[in-house]
Structure 1
């Protein structure tokens, strides 16, 4: 059953909205009543999804700061403001850090997976504050919660997104803005195309993009902030419970100066 949340009179931006999780989330947001701006490098795909949801399409390279600003300005000009940003665009890395390291591939992945989230956040915050608050959901990955030996650079990007969400969540509460990370396992999307055969041979269960989109609605409905929501096959999604980092040992505390 789809999560029920009333998003009437809300405006949502979805990056990477032309396919996969972005497309499914654009449909889910529109189904909940939101006016959706579909942003993607794939102009034709963005147009097709925008037509399906009765929304708007804008071409955006999220790794370009000015393109992110233009995307947000487009939403403000066309829709009157922004209430929700789903910063979802991303790519696999395609190289490691050893002999197979490729600077261009590294820059491309970092630009989409991390810069795209940071730049998108920076660009959309003024628009959210102008509306009196809102919500940002950034797509990380289960790779942001665990080790990924076959693509460590991708894991590094996604760990960074999780850290950003956990750190910014409390900071933005004063502005009535929630900030959370979405951490799905392998889901049906274009990003898995390079490893689809490997996943099939290891009998990995792919999550339908619609189930990941529903988790986005759950995050919005829940109202929490600074959380990293896992999405796994045949399991209820929810916030990952991080253990606290160890504090200083007793000896260190004993050596602390009085009043510290």
Structure 2
């Protein structure tokens, strides 16, 4: 992979417009930000896209631009995830891939600022949405002979985030799911990976924009993340967590193995 080239974000490699011809893709959180960019990118590559979001106006706009469908979905609800998959099968004939992207900022910590409702909302979208979405998708993917799931995690799932430990917790959980489900689902011809952007253009960074500007931290264009998702779904890897950082070519993060057990003699 290419090393650091400059302070600018390195665009990911694009594929031709027929790479996903005949494929059906679901994108949750598709009304804006990373979901919007990815929905349009997958459509450009030939996929028929179903955009899912609670923002009906934004979701329908993206679906129209992508030439696909919109379906309202609260990803924190298991029944809503099943309904989304059923809608896609009914209107598109099946499902081949999905970006489980819906997510929200945490908005609280674990000390005096802890708020149970905000905690439940964040875990519901950021973690339950991936678990419930995967659970709903697997029968549909198996029916097609296999497929691909990509979950939006974050660089916060690969590193400590003292300023927002709960967000780090749910994103670490998504990373753990990707690493574990990758090999677990391989016998079913289903690949599961995660994309882990740093500060990328989306609503979730709105409260941080002044701080990012003061610290001169570049914001990753949503298109760079979308192009990375395209590389993942058209590749052959599984159980991978792709980091996306300014100035670097996106690639799978290389995890260290944990130390193995030792016998009393030190062997």
* TM bucket normalised to smaller: over 0.9
> Residue 12 and residue 149 in structure 1: after superposition, are their counterparts in 2 closer, same or farther (change >3 A)?
same
> Residue 18 and residue 247 in structure 1: after superposition, are their counterparts in 2 closer, same or farther (change >3 A)?
same
Q: Which moved more, 1:10-19 or 1:213-222?
A: 213-222
1:33 corresponds to 2:46? yes
- What is the alpha-carbon distance in structure 2 between the residues aligned to residue 108 and residue 44 of structure 1? 22
What residue is the counterpart of 1:4 in the other structure? Answer: 15
Aligned residue pairs, count = 254
What residue is the counterpart of 1:199 in the other structure? Answer: 212
CA RMSD of aligned residues (A): 1.1
- Choose the corresponding residue for 2:32, options 11, 19, 23: 19
Give the number of the structure with larger relative contact order, counting CA–CA contacts within 8 Å between residues 6 or more apart.
2
Per the normalisation by structure 1, the TM-score is: 0.95
- What is the alpha-carbon distance in structure 2 between the residues aligned to residue 126 and residue 190 of structure 1? 32
1:176 corresponds to 2:189? yes
What residue is the counterpart of 1:134 in the other structure? Answer: 147
What residue is the counterpart of 1:258 in the other structure? Answer: none
* Correspondence 1:215-226 to 2 at 5 A: 215-226=228-239
What residue is the counterpart of 2:179 in the other structure? Answer: 166
SS in 2 for 1:251: coil
- What is the alpha-carbon distance in structure 2 between the residues aligned to residue 250 and residue 232 of structure 1? 41
- What is the alpha-carbon distance in structure 2 between the residues aligned to residue 171 and residue 28 of structure 1? 28
Q: Return the offset for 1:39.
A: 0.2
> Residue 30 and residue 252 in structure 1: after superposition, are their counterparts in 2 closer, same or farther (change >3 A)?
farther
1:96 corresponds to 2:109? yes
Higher helix share: 1
Per the normalisation by structure 2, the TM-score is: 0.93
Q: Return the offset for 1:252.
A: 7.1
**5+ residue gaps in structure 2?**
1-10
**5+ residue gaps in structure 1?**
255-260
